[in-house]
Amino acid sequence: MVSCFVKKVVAIFLGVVTLSLALGADRARSLEAPRVFRGVLILEGKIVAGDYDTLRNFLATKSTFDKISGGVFLASPGGNLAEAMRIGRLIRALRLSTDAPSGPAHGRKFGESVITPSDLRDPKTNYQCASACFLLFVSGIYRNIYWAGRLGVHRPFQLNSELRKLHGADQTLIDGRIRRAVESYLREMNVRVKYVELMFSVPSSDIRWISQDQLDADLEGFIPELKDVVDAKCAVHSTYFSNMEKTVPVTPDAGKLARCRLQIEAQLRSEQPAEGWRKVFGGGN
């Protein structure tokens, strides 16, 4: 039977500030006031309890939300786990895209984000998307980072003094519930379960930066449901030239396919947030 103490600790974890995913998050500043800059919603700083309500209230004003044409730029060393998941679910419900700082370009300059370090209030601390910020990044309907190196994960570490008192079976129970909560969230955000394994394999005192191969294969671009929309709208059914002897397939024009995909992707990224806002806030101005 689960002790009352453990139940109390679990309740605290699920509802208040008990855990942080940030490496050195206690030294970082809390999230700055949300702001829209060059059409991008900037979320900068440590994630703390109350940030969800602040962000939701900010975005509830339709005229403010309509200024967001370039999605959300995430610049954070991490913070509160439960609050990050609440914010992530809000970003997904609002059908917003996400972007985050790129790592070293190694000579590649194509596709740099519209938000640069000089646009942040504390680039030295916040020009990254690590720990709890990873949960925000994967919430976007379209995820964009050109170069790996500043998107990272590690195991949650405990800040609450009551949690530190747990030992043995009680500690294992709490760890299991935390892991299941993270796994459920990442599945909801269409992230492969191997990233749960990766996250929990890295000590809290360390950080694992997502590799370029992982980024390209698993995390960038549209979520599956919207990839399917793009594929369907740009599907080119092979046409055939027939004569009396054989039927010859005509190769689709690769250039036309690429242009179609770019057009449909831009259209979806533009239209989806308006639909999301209506569902979350219920229309009106």
Q: Token pair for residue 225?
A: 């449901």
pLDDT for residue 238: 41
Share of the chain above pLDDT 70, in %: 73
- Distances from the Cα of 49 to the Cα of 80, 114, 184, 249, angstroms: 7, 29, 21, 59
CB atoms within 10 A of CB 182: 20
Bin 149: left if φ > 0, else alpha if -120 < ψ < 50, else beta. left
pLDDT for residue 168: 55
Angle between helices 168-188 and 194-201 (to 10 degrees): 140
pLDDT at 239 over 50: no
Give the range among 41-55, 56-70, 97-111, 119-133 with minimum mean pLDDT. 97-111
pLDDT at 155 over 60: yes
Between CA 46 and CA 77 the distance in angstroms is: 6
The whole-number average pLDDT for the span 23-35 is 64
User: Which residue spans within 139-203 are E strands per DSSP?
Assistant: 142-144, 151-153, 157-158
What's phi and psi for 225, nearest 5 deg? -60, -35
**Which position has the higher pLDDT, 142 or 110?**
142
CA contacts within 13 A on the Cβ side of 137: 31
pLDDT for residue 41: 98
Whole-number mean pLDDT of the chain?
83
Structure confidence at residue 8 as a pLDDT band (50, 70, 90): low
pLDDT at 215 over 70: yes
pLDDT at 235 over 80: yes
Structure confidence at residue 163 as a pLDDT band (50, 70, 90): low
Structure confidence at residue 107 as a pLDDT band (50, 70, 90): low
The whole-number average pLDDT for the span 118-132 is 94
Pairing of strands 221-222, 142-144: antiparallel
- Find the angle CA(268)-CA(269)-CA(271) to the nearest 5 degrees: 60
pLDDT at 10 over 90: no
Between CA 28 and CA 168 the distance in angstroms is: 31
Q: Token pair for residue 186?
A: 């990442």
In this structure, which amino acid lies at residue 254? A
pLDDT for residue 23: 35
pLDDT at 189 over 90: yes
Question: In the chain, what are the domain boundaries?
Answer: 4-222, 224-281
The whole-number average pLDDT for the span 205-228 is 95
The whole-number average pLDDT for the span 259-274 is 94
The pTM of this model reads 0.82
pLDDT at 228 over 60: yes
Give the range among 155-159, 187-191, 205-209 with minimum mean pLDDT. 155-159
pLDDT for residue 13: 46
**What topology does CATH give the domain 4-222?**
2-enoyl-CoA Hydratase; Chain A, domain 1 (3.90.226)
pLDDT for residue 205: 86
What's phi and psi for 129, nearest 5 deg? -140, 90
pLDDT digits (tens, 9 = 90+) for 53-103: 999 999 999 999 999 999 999 999 999 999 999 999 999 999 999 999 998
The whole-number average pLDDT for the span 223-251 is 69
pLDDT for residue 32: 92
pLDDT for residue 29: 53
Q: Token pair for residue 188?
A: 């909801």
- Distances from the Cα of 261 to the Cα of 134, 160, 255, angstroms: 27, 48, 10
Between CA 45 and CA 77 the distance in angstroms is: 7
CB-based contact 95:272 (threshold 8 Å):
yes
Q: Which of helix, strand or coil describes residue 62?
A: helix
Between CA 240 and CA 246 the distance in angstroms is: 10
Q: Token pair for residue 201?
A: 């394999």
What's phi and psi for 233, nearest 5 deg? -70, -25
Site of tokens 């403010």: 64
- Find the angle CA(173)-CA(53)-CA(40) to the nearest 5 degrees: 110
